[in-house]
Amino acid sequence: MDQIAPVYTHTRACLDCYKCLRRCHVKAINVKDGRAEIDQSRCVKCGQCVLACPHQAKKIRDDLEKVKALISNRESVAVSLAPSWRGGTGYNRARIIANLKAMGVSIVSETALGAESVSMSTARMLNSADPGLYVSACCPVVVDYIRMYKPRFLEAIMPLASPAVTHARLLKDYYGKDLKVVFVGPCVAKKGEADLHPDLIHASLTFGELKRWFLESQFDEVLHPIDEEATFSPVRSFEGALYALSGGMIDGLVKIGLKDTVRCVHVNTLSLLGRALDDLANADFQYPVFVEALACSGGCVNGPAISGNRSAIMAMTDLLRHVKTRETVEPGPFYTHLAVDIRPSNLTAKAHPFDKIQEILAQLGKHLPEDEINCAGCGYNSCRELAAAICDGQAEPTMCVSSMRKLATRKAAALVKAMPSAIVMVDHQMNILEVNEAFVRMFTLNDPDSPNGPANGYDRPNGYERPNKPGSPGGPPNCQSRLEDLIGTPVTQWVEFGRLIRKVLMTGQDIHIEHRLYKGKLFNVYIFSVEKYQVAGAIVTDMTALREGRFDLAKKVREVINKNIATAQEIACLLGEHVVETETLLSAVAADYEEGTGSDGWEDDNPRAESSGSD
């Protein structure tokens, strides 16, 4: 099974807010079915999406069980503690060493020792460098960013391993090749670095994972007393601890000694670094220019996996207070030079046909340049970036907020316009926000048969002036002009149930009234709350025609019933006469039959009479 990436997405927790996409500088986020997932092939593992996500859908891989397994297997484990530990963990030196030793860690050392070796190697290279651009390789996020997105500056990266990897090599060289090194720090990208160098760094923990490990262990201070004199192994660090701060590496280089011809600057965040590199694309360097580049604002002390809510300023001041510096810096017994080969990535920028981009922009309702408002609501910096992402299958048209709002508005307007029922929306002051044509016909235009006036006139409430022109003052009005005229007027001028609308507005409870008689017509009224105290609405349905239709139907049904009854009665009458006539005729036939038999002289066969005669 593939190893889980250092940063990944818990898909079901994602609620399509696109905050991660807005925060991600390289837009390594693919949106499908409204869910934002990290594209591992384009991700630089900066961890900003984890900080941005309000639903905790972006997760950092948990490697704590892997470290526990190393200790359970009785491996010799060394912890490489990042320089920002003092401001990022909340523990002092003695406590953190005692806790780690109590959990089975053999060696606790500072990553800053590796940083000091990197500074020494960097200073030597810069002092012998030709004019040109040189970028530090200490931040793995910066290295991946240049490899993947600024490949023309790949050769500018210093070919040196990061302080963490260098420190791991230092520890293995000193304590033995079988030592298992675990990095602990505020950096998510270090998990990726451990994946790339499993022979040197066996696992990487964040400060949050470290604190959780401490809390789960519940140390007994009697069994595991704290040694206030405990120190890091094999020796303590000096200027290397400044690597956690922006400009700290340059301070160490200056201590070591740089030629006057070398110029040094430090840049934080990928956005600033990207702009700086673009500005240097055609620069003609007259001397070596070294750029200390870090992905996190202010340095590693403000990394994405810093534990706790302590302010970055307080963490910085705490770190500065405990850093020890030297008057002169010389290569010591633990100096380690570790060169690496930084290779380009296989990520290539895609070219999109102009016509295809225009087609997608048209689908988003952006037909003219002024339609491209570049609001960044979708997470992309411009509408054309969104169109290009849609081309690549990394985004969806529904991500365009302005397009969806316009579409929803058009649909709602068409639905409201087509509804036969009257609709009115009011604000917190009971002024009309929106009405449809049915409302105009139902409440503002007179019925032609009513005594109030012609169909193109107004039911004029007090204080309302009648216009004279169709669509504008001066003539007979039409529905469209009436819609515009009603906006902003008090709803109580037009309907008599304004008090009920106000009640719904104040309580947020809907009201349904059936068969309300108003000006000779029958209405059903449904008053609903959109936002309590702010917006309410009403839907009014004219039930008069339906009621009259029911009366007509009932009348016709009654007529049919009466006709059926009359027909049945007539049939019954005819059947009665026929029965009487049939009975009379059959009776006569029977009587005639009896009389005819006696006159023919037929004797009855009567055995009882014959028997009596013989006797």
- Residue 462 pLDDT > 80, yes or no? no
Quick one: fold of 352-408? Answer: 3-methyladenine DNA Glycosylase II; Chain A, domain 3 (1.10.15)
Q: For tokens 């301070």, name the residue.
A: 251
253: left (phi over 0), alpha (psi -120 to 50) or beta: alpha
pLDDT in tens, 219-275: 656 566 788 888 999 999 999 999 999 999 999 999 999 999 999 999 999 999 999
Does 470 score more than 60 pLDDT?
Answer: no
**In which band, very low, low, confident or very high, does the pLDDT at 428 lie, cut at 50, 70 and 90?**
very high
Residue boundaries of the structural domains of the chain: 1-61, 62-322, 352-408, 419-542
Single out the residue of 486, 480, 435, 421 nearest to residue 459, CA to CA: 486
pTM assigned to the model: 0.75
Select the CATH number that applies to the domain covering 1-61 from these four: 3.40.50.20, 3.20.20.450, 3.30.70.20, 3.40.630.30: 3.30.70.20
Q: Could you check whether 1-61 and 419-542 share the same CATH topology?
A: no
List b or e across 143-155, with b for residues whose CB sees 16 or more CB atoms inside 10 angstroms: bbbbbbbbeebbe
At 549 the pLDDT is: 56
Nearest to 534 by CA among 502, 561, 556: 502
521-575 pLDDT, tens per residue? 888 999 999 999 999 999 999 888 766 555 566 666 677 677 777 777 777 776 6
Q: Is the pLDDT of residue 189 over 50?
A: yes
Query: What are the C-alpha distances in Å from 234 to residues 106, 119, 164?
Result: 12, 19, 16
| Per-residue pLDDT reduced to its tens digit, 322-337 | 888 888 888 888 888 9
The Cβ of residue 476 has, within 10 Å, a number of other Cβ atoms equal to: 16
Partners of 133 in the beta sheet?
289
* pLDDT above 90 (res 601): no
Angle 197-199-202 from CA coordinates, rounded to 5°: 80
- In this prediction, what percent of the chain has a pLDDT beyond 90? 58
Residue 442 pLDDT more than 90?
no
Tell me the per-residue pLDDT of 263-294, one tens digit each, with 9 for 90 and over: 999 999 999 999 999 999 888 999 999 999 99
Distance in angstroms (rounded) separating the CA atoms of residues 498 and 506: 12
Least trusted range by pLDDT, from 187-191, 575-579, 593-597, 609-613: 609-613
Given this model, what pLDDT does residue 104 score?
Answer: 92
Strands 288-294 and 263-268: parallel
Those residues with Cβ within 8 angstroms of residue 502's Cβ, 6 or more apart along the chain or in another chain: 430
- Residues 253, 122 contacting (CB under 8 angstroms): yes
- Per the DSSP assignment, residues forming a β-bridge with 60 are 7
- The chain-wide mean pLDDT, for the chain, equals 85
Assess contact for 125 and 100: CB atoms under 8 A.
no
E strand or H helix that includes residue 358? helix 354-363
Q: Can you read off the two tokens belonging to residue 83? A: 């320089």
Topology of the domain comprising 419-542: Beta-Lactamase (3.30.450)
pLDDT single digits (tens) 126-158: 999 999 999 999 999 999 999 999 999 999 999
Residue-level pLDDT at 2: 42
State the DSSP string of 246-290: TTHHHHHHHHH---TT-EEEEEESHHHHHHHHHHTTT---SSEEE
Q: How many residues does the chain have?
A: 615
Query: What pLDDT is stored for residue 220 in this prediction?
Result: 59
Supply the DSSP symbol for 130.
Answer: P
